[in-house]
Amino acid sequence: MYGGTALGAACVAVALVVALTQGDTGGDGRKDASASSASKPDGEAKEKANGGKKPEEVWDGKVRVLGDGSTSYTGPQPKVAKPEKLKPGEKPPQFVVFSWDGALENDDKLFSHFRAVARQNNAQMTYFLTGIYLLPKADRQKYLPPKHKPGDAAIDFTSDAHIKDTLAQLRGAWLEGNEIGTHFNGHFCGKNGGGDWSTEEWKKEIEQSYAFVQNWKTNTGFKSLPPLPFDYEKELVGGRAPCLEGQKTLIPAAKSFGWRYDASSPGDFQLWPSQIDGIWNFPLQLLPYPKSERQVLSMDFNFLFNQSGDNTNGDPAKRAAWQKETTEGYLNGFNRVYNGSRAPLFIGNHFETWNGGIYMKAMEDVMKDVCRRDGVRCVSFRQVADWLDAQDPKVLAKLRGLDPAQSPDWKTFIK
């Protein structure tokens, strides 16, 4: 289960709103960061406090271990394409972002499984890591959640074995070009959750999201494990709030850390993205529900809610039909924009086995169907932000004026 039984109840609030209307190294040939474990920490002052990320630097080819050895700088991320500006008459690429809330490798091994599926289908994704999944249960008091007692969380802390497994998956995922974002920490929803937090409280939550990644060796005592191959000060540029709550006060906090995007919007139509106070807004999207006039939010739990309510172990006799329905729902949304406006498709998931794992099977079917189609790029949120930043603002404004199914004459639309 994803962090424990509290998650299903926590997600109901989202569904009620929208249902109605050991890892490998990636094989890139780089020198293992563990070989430089004697290197000194970089000693750079944190830039978060004054609202900026660490400046980009020219890599000298040497791995630099950071802090207590939990993370390291290994140069630019491999296997990530450089964004290019649209040329006159060019049709935009069809971006599809598969994102995973929590990013825990537990006994179901879904993190490692979907890494393999992504490799087979030329896909890269965003993993929104829950910070306390790198904090041992015995040290839970180190987590100081806003409006809650030290050590409180709405989800379960995980086992030491799962921490090790998750670290291995994070390491391999990044080397494959995937993004490591954040799902924050305690997964609090509703009363005293993210929707009730001030910007300053969100900042405290974010600080801890960094700290649990940057100090996992100190917190766990797993000194012999290799560092993560990224500097989290550079890597972390966006997240998704639990239950999609609190974006209004979260955005100013995200901006103060130099983040690029936020994926916490409670839902919108399939439109080209816009910004909120300089932060790209990447919402989950309303997709055409099969054989219905309704729209469903592009997240696994919302399909579940439409099919079996808040029961994650629904009627086995109906599961095959539900799986087909879920696959069709995602493909409805994909085809609408692929043959229309080419607006990015954003999909949110959990590493869960709800209703016998049908939502995982549906997601795998969708990835195999769409990611190798002509003009499709299955990428991370960070890569979408990079591409958007590389475009002419006037072109983006025109794209935002398109309805999802509207397909202009691309030969004359982009000038």
Residue 341 clears pLDDT 90, i.e. is over it: yes
Q: What pTM, to 2 d.p., does this model score? A: 0.89
| Average pLDDT of the residues in 167-185 | 98
What pLDDT shows up at residue 54? Answer: 66
Average pLDDT, the chain: 90
Q: Which two tokens stand for residue 73?
A: 């700088």
What pLDDT shows up at residue 40? Answer: 35
| Average pLDDT of the residues in 12-21 | 40
Residue 250 clears pLDDT 70, i.e. is over it: yes
Residue 174 clears pLDDT 90, i.e. is over it: yes
What pLDDT shows up at residue 30? Answer: 39
Give burial (CB, 10 Å; 0-12/13-18/19+) of 55.
exposed
The CA distance from 177 to 254, in Å, is: 23
The residues, any chain, with a CB within 8 Å of residue 381's CB and separated by 6 or more, are 97, 99, 126, 179, 181, 238, 261, 263, 282, 346
Q: Which of residues 187 and 39 earns the better pLDDT score?
A: 187
What pLDDT shows up at residue 316? Answer: 98
* Listed residue (377, 358, 375, 357) closest to 367, CA to CA: 377
| Average pLDDT of the residues in 151-163 | 98
What pLDDT shows up at residue 3? Answer: 37
Q: Rounded to the nearest 10 degrees, what angle do helices 300-308 and 6-18 cross at?
A: 80
C-alpha torsion 255→258→259→261, nearest 10? 60
Q: Which of residues 274 and 43 earns the better pLDDT score?
A: 274
What pLDDT shows up at residue 204? Answer: 98
The helix (H) or strand (E) run that includes residue 18 is helix 6-18
Residue 315 clears pLDDT 90, i.e. is over it: yes
Residue given tokens 């040497």 in the structure block: 62
Confidence of residue 39 (pLDDT cuts 50, 70, 90): very low
| Average pLDDT of the residues in 62-74 | 97
| Average pLDDT of the residues in 141-165 | 98
Q: Which of 23-32, 161-170, 292-301, 336-345 has the lowest mean pLDDT?
A: 23-32
| Average pLDDT of the residues in 347-356 | 97
Residue 105: CA count within 13 A, CB half-sphere? 23
Phi–psi pair at 289, nearest 5 degrees: -75, 135
Q: Is 379 helix (H, G, I), strand (E, B) or coil?
A: coil
- In total, the chain counts a number of residues equal to 415
The CA distance from 37 to 227, in Å, is: 8
- The full set of domains in the chain, from first to last, is 70-77+87-283+369-401 (3.20.20)
Residue 55 clears pLDDT 80, i.e. is over it: no
Tens digits of residue pLDDT in 196-249: 999 999 999 999 999 999 999 999 999 999 999 999 999 999 999 999 999 999
The CA distance from 196 to 359, in Å, is: 31
- Strands of 275-276's sheet, edge to edge? 261-262, 279-281, 275-276
